[in-house]
Amino acid sequence: MKTLVVEDSRTNLKVVCHYLERMGITPIPAENGTKAIDLFISERPDMVLLDIILPDIDGFEVARSLRQLEQPGDWTPILFLTSMTKDEDLEKGIAAGGDDYIHKPVSDVVLGAKIRAMQRIIQMRYSLLVLTRKLDTANQELKRLTSLDGLTGIANRRHFDETLGREWRRSMRQGAEFSILMCDVDLFKAYNDTLGHQAGDECLRQVAQSLAEAMDRGGDLVARYGGEEFAVILPETSLAGGMIVAERMRQAVEALNIDHPTSANGKVTISIGLASGIAMPETDPAKLVKTADRALYHAKHEGRNRIHAITSSDSNEE
């Protein structure tokens, strides 16, 4: 443990440092406020013993400076060394950032007791910080887990809805284009009925993984929307850009070569609905999702394993 000792009297400085050394504490001596601030920056002591009357700047100002130098969440105990006994002096010291007083002449018994008390506070504070970090880590992990779909490991519907709102508002500020894909595994009920639910679950996991791997931008998101349906958010993406991503996804699933006994081509495929529009204050992202869902219905109706696109400008005509 290191303690910064700020005392302009060389005799008092030597005495206090000697007391500290006997307690197994490393003293860092300073004879004025300017040097004390410099040593605080370079040494980062665990505690500060600070004389109030100094030759350059007084201890109150030094204490305020030290508090300003601390990083968020840091705390270094500051104990004033002083012969002042008035209540207003005590109040002024606490207001400046001090934590306690040790009256001069310094008694080794009182000094030892005060330091041990501060050490206990430091230890308790450290324990609380460790616990807080553990709780923060646990909360972050919990948040991550609650945003994932338990079966496929990709984002779930809740995370999709949260991301959609956030990305829509961001795109709205820029007046940017925005695209949504709705993807559905073709004839999945028949696949489940024929091969069983375990095979169906494995199929969904592989499809989800292939869709996720087909994404090439950090801001895009693919999520399991429900059942065998997946949804994709493509911020700042035009209809043409959405078509490129959609086709890449369709091909990725087809390339899995998962056998499908009741499919026309004998393989698992997906159909995709694409909706694209401009993010504006008077528009609702939920409407774009519905439009993409309607486009998905058309892709299914047209024969499956294909993409159907609708822009917001022609969505009312569909």
Q: How far apart are CA 76 and CA 260, in angstroms?
A: 67
Distances, alpha carbon 303 to alpha carbons 246, 249, 275, 299, in Å: 16, 17, 19, 7
Q: How far apart are CA 8 and CA 12, in angstroms?
A: 8
Specify the 3-state DSSP secondary structure of 315.
helix
C-alpha angle 286-289-293 in degrees, rounded to nearest 5: 140
Specify the 3-state DSSP secondary structure of 300.
helix
Amino acid at 49: L
Specify the 3-state DSSP secondary structure of 180.
strand
Q: How far apart are CA 155 and CA 285, in angstroms?
A: 18
The 10 Å Cβ neighbour count of residue 300 is 17
Residues 6+ apart with CB under 8 A from 58: 33, 52
Q: Could you tell me which of 94, 110, 132, 95 has the C-alpha nearest to residue 15?
A: 110
Please pick, among 7, 31, 177, 228, the residue that the annotation labels catalytic.
Answer: 228
Q: Could you tell me which of 29, 24, 61 has the C-alpha nearest to residue 43?
A: 29
The 10 Å Cβ neighbour count of residue 153 is 13
Helix axes 197-213, 188-195, angle to 10 degrees: 140
Q: Is residue 228 flagged as an active site residue?
A: yes
Query: Active-site residues: which are they?
Result: 228
